[in-house]
Structure 1
Amino acid sequence: MAKVGVEGSLTNVQQALQEKGYEVVQLRQESDAQGCDCCVITGIDSNVMGIADTVTKGAVIEANGLSADEVCQEVESRLGRS
């Protein structure tokens, strides 16, 4: 099953993804994203300085304004499981 990194404040998204069978890793620091097939972030503080260092080759989904179900659909779409 795919490994998905999720920011800690998105507990509803973490639960929804776990219910769908994904391995969920809580993102506390940048190195936690390594090895993830996909990462879900809040987007609140993304790219504040205009600098974007990539630490994962997986897709990055910004959850701002999306429900947990919408995030799950986006994860499935990005991972080719739709």
Structure 2
Amino acid sequence: MLKIGVEASLSNIKQVLQEKGYEVVELKQESDVVNCDCCVVSGLDSNVMGMHDTVTQAPVIEAKGLSAEEVCQQIESRLG
């Protein structure tokens, strides 16, 4: 089962992913990201400084402007 990390503010996306059979964990701190196959973030905390400290090699999907179904499609296309 794929483990998807989801930001706490995205409860609607979390619910849809659980219904589709994904294991969903809430992203509360950086260490939560390490064991996820994919992460979904709101995009509200965009990196305005342009500095990146990579914590995971997993795909990160920005949910801003996407429906829950569109986020699921993004996950499926990135993870195969």
CA drift at 1:33: 0.4
Rounded Cα–Cα distance in structure 2 between residues aligned with 1:30 and 1:48: 19
Q: Which moved more, 1:42-51 or 1:70-79?
A: 42-51
Partner amino acid for 2:66?
Answer: L
RMSD: 0.7
- The secondary structure found in structure 2 opposite 1:25 is strand
Identity of paired residues, percent?
Answer: 70
- The secondary structure found in structure 2 opposite 1:5 is strand
Matched, 1:41 2:12: no
Consecutive aligned runs of 4 or more in structure 1 exceeding 2 Å deviation: none
Partner amino acid for 1:68?
Answer: A
Q: Which runs of 5+ in 1 are unaligned?
A: none
Rounded Cα–Cα distance in structure 1 between residues aligned with 2:75 and 2:14: 12
Aligned residues: 80
Rounded Cα–Cα distance in structure 2 between residues aligned with 1:35 and 1:57: 10
Q: Which runs of 5+ in 2 are unaligned?
A: none
Give me the TM-score of the superposition, normalised by structure 2.
Answer: 0.95
